[in-house]
Amino acid sequence: MAVVTGARRGIGRLVAEHLLAGGAQVVGLSRAADAVIEHPAYQHLAADVADDAAVRAAFREIARRHGRLDLLVNAAAVLTSQYVLLLPGGKAEEMVRTNLLGPVLTCREAAKLMTRARYGRIVNVSSMAAVLEPPGDAVYAATKAALATFGNVLAKELGRVGVTVNTLGVTAYPTDMLAALPADKVAAVIAALPIPRAATREDLLHALDFLLSESSGYVTAQTLHLGGVHA
Ligand SMILES: NC(=O)c1ccc[n+]([C@@H]2O[C@H](COP(=O)([O-])OP(=O)(O)OC[C@H]3O[C@@H](n4cnc5c(N)ncnc54)[C@H](OP(=O)(O)O)[C@@H]3O)[C@@H](O)[C@H]2O)c1
């Protein structure tokens, strides 16, 4: 049984469909109510991950229907790429709430179910921006750096109960979020990577499968960056 946030589009949808293909039951969370994935083992719940009451309600429903939770992948995030001098406060707040507070709330609710079963795998999706710190992405990069720190501390809190918490550092992958960025800026960032290309579906899912694997019980508090990005 898996929960994937941001499952309506982009990487979250890719992950949800991948887990469904592997035989998992999947609950996808996003703000919009209409499910775009049609699969008998898929349920879509409308929840803003930064809304404490909505997240609690979603996980109450998950507990009621499934009684357990094995995997949580936090892929929901928003990005406004803008120099700090020009960044509206509301956009900064939206990134902090969605990209950091959101995973805090979903991890907390997931951990309640996982600790009960003494098993769980949590993967928080981060970005190369946390390490590369590109101008224009100060707040986004800060939320992703904080997300890894949050995951590392949570990993310590859950290390004795069979629950791992890791961070997956994604490079460029074609989604709505990437399409909203200037193409020349994206191309320059990709060209400067140690492996100078965008991530493929296989690149993402291979790394994710490793972190979500039952065999990865001794791997926690790690950030796995794609493309050769390193801190
Ligand atoms: N694509 C890339 O090149 C790239 C690179 C590095 C890192 N990443 C990371 O990869 C992850 C996925 O990004 P993406 O490119 O797939 O983004 P995307 O195409 O913009 O999709 C974002 C998803 O998150 C959901 N979402 C947004 N705000 C939400 C909220 N407050 N509550 C619940 N759901 C919310 C959206 O659905 P609704 O609109 O229905 O809410 C959508 O399903 C993010 O963590 C991002 O930071 C992406």
Residue 161 in this model has a pLDDT that exceeds 90: yes
The edge-to-edge listing of strands for the beta sheet with 120-127 is 42-46, 26-30, 2-5, 71-74, 120-127, 163-170, 223-225
**What's the pLDDT at 231?**
87
Taking residues 29-42, what's their average pLDDT?
94
Ligand 1: does its nearest atom lie under 6 Å from the Cβ of 76? yes
Taking residues 98-124, what's their average pLDDT?
98
**What's the pLDDT at 58?**
98
Active site residue 173: no
Please give the share of the chain, as a percent, with pLDDT higher than 70.
Answer: 100
Write the pLDDT tens digit of every residue in 68-82: 999 999 999 999 999
Ligand 1: does its nearest atom lie under 6 Å from the Cβ of 229? no
- Between the CA of 113 and the centroid of ligand 1 the distance, in Å, is 24
Ligand 1: does its nearest atom lie under 6 Å from the Cβ of 48? yes
Which whole-number Å values give the CA distances from 162 to 58, 122, 216, 220, 230, in the listed order? 23, 11, 10, 10, 27
Residue 180 in this model has a pLDDT that exceeds 90: yes
Mutate to test the pocket of ligand 1, among 106, 107, 140, 175 (most ligand atoms within 8 A of CB): 175
- Between the CA of 162 and the centroid of ligand 1 the distance, in Å, is 28
Taking residues 36-59, what's their average pLDDT?
97
**What's the pLDDT at 35?**
78
Output the pTM of the full model: 0.98
**What's the pLDDT at 222?**
98
- Between the CA of 160 and the centroid of ligand 1 the distance, in Å, is 31
Taking residues 47-61, what's their average pLDDT?
98
SS3 at position 73: strand
Confidence of residue 199 (pLDDT cuts 50, 70, 90): very high
Residue 172 in this model has a pLDDT that exceeds 90: yes
With tokens 């690149």, the residue in question is 203
